[in-house]
Structure 1
């Protein structure tokens, strides 16, 4: 699936092992956490902004929309 995707860091796209979010969720469940947010304070602030003002969070990503479309035009989940 990842072979056909050409989106990179210039489009705020990054790769990680599939086990990384699963591990974070597992640790959260074990700790009795109500929420699991990875990537520290920056991610926590982004989540709070999304709750309070979703349009403000969306605005910076609108400029990336066409670049992401071009990068993923040949992308396939097969």
Structure 2
């Protein structure tokens, strides 16, 4: 099993979005049905979405996240 997520970024965002919409509605992490899709809310344009689909792993390697978390992993 490779390190990190075994699927593409856009598929991961779709999974997060789908999961959030199917949680118990009263949970704080639930996503309301009328909320725009995750990629749209993040402001990822179709042009950039295509770039990320093709280049995410080669561009960002294995570490993506908050700077402090990346520093912890590197140390």
What's the TM-score once normalised by structure 1's chain length? Answer: 0.29
Higher relative contact order (CA 8 A, sep 6+): 1
What's the TM-score once normalised by structure 2's chain length? Answer: 0.30
Q: Which of these two proteins has the greater Rg computed from alpha carbons?
A: 1
Which structure is higher in helix share? 1
